[in-house]
Structure 1
Amino acid sequence: MQLIWLRSDLRVHDNTALSAAMEQGPTIAVYMISPGQWLSHDDAACKVDFWLRNLSHLSKALEALNVPLLIVHAETWAQAPKALLDICQQHAVENVHVNDEYGFNEAKRDREAEDALDAAGILFSRHLDQLFFQPGSVLTKSGGYFKVFTQFRRVCYARLHYSMPTLVALPKAQAKLAIKGDVIPDTVKGFPEPTETLRSLWPAGEDEARERLNTFTDEQVHYYDQERDFPAKPGTSQLSAYLAAGVISPRQCLHAALRSNNGEFETGNSGSVTWINELLWREFYKHVLVGFPRVSRHRAFRPETEALQWRHSPTDLQAWQEGRTGLPIVDAAIRQMLETGWMHNRLRMITAMFLTKNLLIDWREGERFFMQHLIDGDLASNNGGWQWSSSTGTDASPYFRIFNPQSQSERFDPEGVFIKKWVPELAELNKRDIHNPAALKGLFGVKEYPAPIVDLKASRERALQAFKSLPQRQPETQEAG
């Protein structure tokens, strides 16, 4: 008997481990419920709910292949080896197949599971599935992991020219087994159910993910480079939650993008090329997790930035977390995330830079808060984005590059459409005033909306001084608008 241990690969199409298992013999599938571990990872309640809803769809898809899906419980991953071994011995499993995951805790869990199974004479087969290239295979000339994305991308491009990742065929249905699949739980203790409004924004299942991918790459991707930075426009793929849960694979995304661009990934339509670059950013951050494990253990990639004197300001942090900083674009972005489980990527950078530069609050506070609320929360991408914004990470934004939230708002939400949707108390303001309602005084002010909690100019200078005091500081340049 073969077993596929499902994790962040909740699909039957283009699933490397599933196909490999079914090629070798009769196969069963297992999914592990680990609420204690998920809580320690700050996984969002809406994300756990999304996993469960997708598991229900996956269970039906596996049933069509005559693969029963079993549910096991292990409060934390420390209990995973025994839970896995028990089910293997119960069903006479000879080989456990997994698609590799890349965080520090994930790698430790898999090593311990492999050791326990090996001691019992059970094979543990790992497969490349989440990435185009095996970590450790895209290296600098000196044999190290890349620290700069553009250099990493160049090597990936060279590899793609002669070795395009192929899609794995959907396995044929196997003979029926005398094993009944388990009922998928609707909820998990410790993770409250999200609103139906939020759920409706993120329907579960591979059909939904593939339809979104096809819709995006058929037409929208051609304008991606022009519209992706404008949060009021539907300029992004809305696939991140499905990618994070493995309901769709990066290979499927790459192939769809190539179809939209006549097989080109470096030239041709600039929207398609830009979106493929975003897939490579995702790849880059996962390679960084493997090459520099400290980043998945709440450590800065650049060690010298550990000496930064972050401010301890619970009041300012709470105002940021509640979307009442007095900076409309920041507040609108946070409120979007709290209600929908998702935030536009441009806004992730603006809100992160505001927290870490203007408020000078530790990036780890923001990283954790995002993970607790994002339906697409992904350790590698979330950490990479926060460390980029706070100038502590690999390929990070230089410390002197500090977004001005007001000018960013004027540039990327010029009519104030996005702000008016999420900060309705400002809905009556015109497109000039809505980006800086604090400039309206007296009778013209907006009483329901708070004054800014920080002066942008003074806080920028404070951040520059904090970073200048660090060793190995970088040369000065102009502020980014």
Structure 2
Amino acid sequence: MARTRQLVWFRTDIRADDNKALSQASQSGDVVGVYLIHPNQWVDHDDSPNKLFFRLSCVASLQRRLARFNIPLLIKEAGYYSDSAELLLNLARSLNCQGIWFNDEYGVNEQTRDQTVIEAFDAAGLSLHRFTDAVLVEPGRVTTGKGEAYKVFTPFKKAVYRYLQPQDWMPCPSPSKQAPLDIAADPVPVDRYSPTASNILKRWTPDEKSAHKSLNEFIEARVQRYVEQRDFPALDGSSSLSPWLAAGVLSVRQCFDAAARANDGELDSGNPGVTCWLGELVWREFYKHILVAFPRVSKHRPFQVETDRLDWRQVPALQEAWETGKTGFPLVDAAMRQLVATGWMHNRLRMVTAMFLSKNLMLDWRVGERFFMRHLVDGDLAANNGGWQWSASTGTDAAPYFRMFNPVSQSQKFDPDGAFIRAWVPELAALDNKTIHQPLTGKVGDLLGRLDYPAPIVDHAASRQRVIEAFKGLRS
């Protein structure tokens, strides 16, 4: 009896292992994979060439991996998401596929696209199968006592932990090896996007084996020190797994399972490093749930609606100084240079630089959100938007408007010997460990010209008072 044929649509789940749609489709028939390239949509979403180069490199690795299961991966171009339904339906018909299988995504544009695909396949009489895969808990599954979506992280995390059972984070089986199909895989246009950052593929090899090796190394050797080291950018204290997670080369279940096993199955007790990192994974989960419950955050709108009335400044010179790492605040400048050079930024520094732009400079947080997306190799709408709105006090769990990082004290606390600053702001390398955090003070003030380093572009105390008054004005 001939086996049925199934079309699996890969999106931000570029992996063969622990892929719900792929695993289930493989049990239902012979699989043909497809990955769609959306150049016009990607421009509209500000996806960086670093992210797209890495993403397509991961697709090429996936294609080779799937070939071991005799699963061909086709590559098709659909300029915008709105072009997807017709293309996929025609492809399914031409390949005699019984149905399409995919894992859910949660931005407004993605959900609109998927609804169109659902309607097209339903009208054509072809089956459609969708799965919760990018999150541990389906959005809308955990709610407050009033049946509403959680707006604050801590009660959300507690609700998730009450809901979760070990089987919820258990990775699912790999696909079965099938008989070869008379369908040739398409070439993956990896070189279509030229990264602006260097050494992306050296730091994050774009395949599942390398991602798991890094995950296991982090769990075995570094997660125990995660609480103590994660905020220090000069140390190798974070997991650095975010590019693989954003592309779906690693799943949240695989990460959660590895950490939980290392912690004897405990989630909120046991090793402090493991429990802290599990909490960070739940933060990623939280922001994806927010995309579904509050679609406005996908539309360049603040979560805290009243903050839309804030009078953000427009000062191109200040924005340029921030983007180029020439603000006169060494830690901010080092972080921004790290982003542009590598396509990645340490998480503590994402908060420092975001708060500096939105509060010290009082420039629109959306300017910074867009700049990050245009450079990040791990650009993710939910995480990036959530982090920026938290820093700007416009979002969920927002830092109170009067809370504002002092970039100098953050530097002194988290880069005490200036090692990170010296690595990225070499013009300050000769300064002592005290002066390097604030070069304009002390005996070095008259040396700034020779240092070729700018004076601070803003006064922290004055800018703090300005933003506090602006937020107070919303109340009145």
Cα distance, 1:161 vs. partner? 5.0
Question: Unpaired segments of 5 or more residues in structure 2?
Answer: none
Equivalence for 2:30: 26
Q: Does 1:364 align with 2:370?
A: no
CA distance 1:418–1:443, change in 2 (3 Å): closer
Q: How many angstroms apart in 2 are the aligned matches of 1:162 and 1:426?
A: 50
Q: 1:457 is matched with which residue: 439, 461, 470?
A: 461
Check whether the contact 1:414–1:431 (CA below 8 A) recurs between aligned residues: yes
Equivalence for 2:242: 240
What does residue range 40-439 of structure 1 map to in structure 2 within 5 Å?
A: 40-160=44-164, 164-188=168-192, 191-194=193-196, 196-439=198-441
Check whether the contact 1:102–1:290 (CA below 8 A) recurs between aligned residues: yes
Check whether the contact 1:198–1:339 (CA below 8 A) recurs between aligned residues: no
Check whether the contact 2:21–2:101 (CA below 8 A) recurs between aligned residues: yes
Which has the higher mean CA deviation after the structures are superposed, 41-50 or 179-188?
Answer: 179-188
Check whether the contact 1:64–1:173 (CA below 8 A) recurs between aligned residues: yes
Cα distance, 1:195 vs. partner? 5.2
Cα distance, 1:443 vs. partner? 4.1
Check whether the contact 1:201–1:340 (CA below 8 A) recurs between aligned residues: no
Q: How many angstroms apart in 2 are the aligned matches of 1:337 and 1:87?
A: 39
Task: Name the amino acid aligned to 1:274.
Answer: C
Task: Name the amino acid aligned to 2:272.
Answer: S
Which has the higher mean CA deviation after the structures are superposed, 286-295 or 437-446?
Answer: 437-446
Q: How many angstroms apart in 1 are the aligned matches of 2:139 and 2:305?
A: 22
CA distance 1:181–1:140, change in 2 (3 Å): same
Q: How many angstroms apart in 2 are the aligned matches of 1:164 and 1:29?
A: 25
Q: How many angstroms apart in 1 are the aligned matches of 2:103 and 2:256?
A: 19
SS at match of 1:373: coil
Cα distance, 1:198 vs. partner? 3.2
Question: Unpaired segments of 5 or more residues in structure 1?
Answer: 473-481
Q: How many angstroms apart in 2 are the aligned matches of 1:215 and 1:401?
A: 36
Check whether the contact 1:336–1:342 (CA below 8 A) recurs between aligned residues: yes
Check whether the contact 2:331–2:421 (CA below 8 A) recurs between aligned residues: yes
- Identity among equivalent positions (%) equals 50
Q: How many angstroms apart in 1 are the aligned matches of 2:350 and 2:195?
A: 24
Post-superposition CA distance 1:17-67 (Å, at most 9, x none): 000111110110000011100010000101000011111110011000111
Check whether the contact 1:437–1:446 (CA below 8 A) recurs between aligned residues: no
Check whether the contact 1:49–1:194 (CA below 8 A) recurs between aligned residues: no
Q: 2:451 is matched with which residue: 436, 447, 450?
A: 447
Task: Provide runs of 4+ in structure 1 moved above 6 Å.
Answer: none
SS at match of 1:361: coil
Post-superposition CA distance 1:197-250 (Å, at most 9, x none): 333222110011000000000120011011000000000111000000000000
Check whether the contact 1:132–1:165 (CA below 8 A) recurs between aligned residues: yes
Equivalence for 1:475: none
Cα distance, 1:376 vs. partner? 0.5
Which has the higher mean CA deviation after the structures are superposed, 168-177 or 25-34?
Answer: 168-177
After TM superposition, the score normalised by the length of structure 2 is 0.97
Cα distance, 1:192 vs. partner? 2.8
Q: How many angstroms apart in 1 are the aligned matches of 2:222 and 2:331?
A: 25
Q: How many angstroms apart in 1 are the aligned matches of 2:206 and 2:96?
A: 32
SS at match of 1:437: coil
Cα distance, 1:193 vs. partner? 3.5
Equivalence for 2:470: 466
After TM superposition, the score normalised by the length of structure 1 is 0.96
Cα distance, 1:446 vs. partner? 4.6
Post-superposition CA distance 1:374-405 (Å, at most 9, x none): 00010000000000000000110000000000
Cα distance, 1:165 vs. partner? 2.5
CA distance 1:170–1:360, change in 2 (3 Å): same
Cα distance, 1:69 vs. partner? 0.3
Q: How many angstroms apart in 1 are the aligned matches of 2:214 and 2:310?
A: 42
RMSD of aligned C-alpha atoms?
A: 1.2
Task: Name the amino acid aligned to 1:284.
Answer: F
Cα distance, 1:438 vs. partner? 1.3
SS at match of 1:187: helix
Task: Name the amino acid aligned to 1:24.
Answer: S
Size of the alignment, in residue pairs? 470
Check whether the contact 2:169–2:254 (CA below 8 A) recurs between aligned residues: no
Cα distance, 1:444 vs. partner? 6.7
Q: How many angstroms apart in 2 are the aligned matches of 1:336 and 1:416?
A: 15
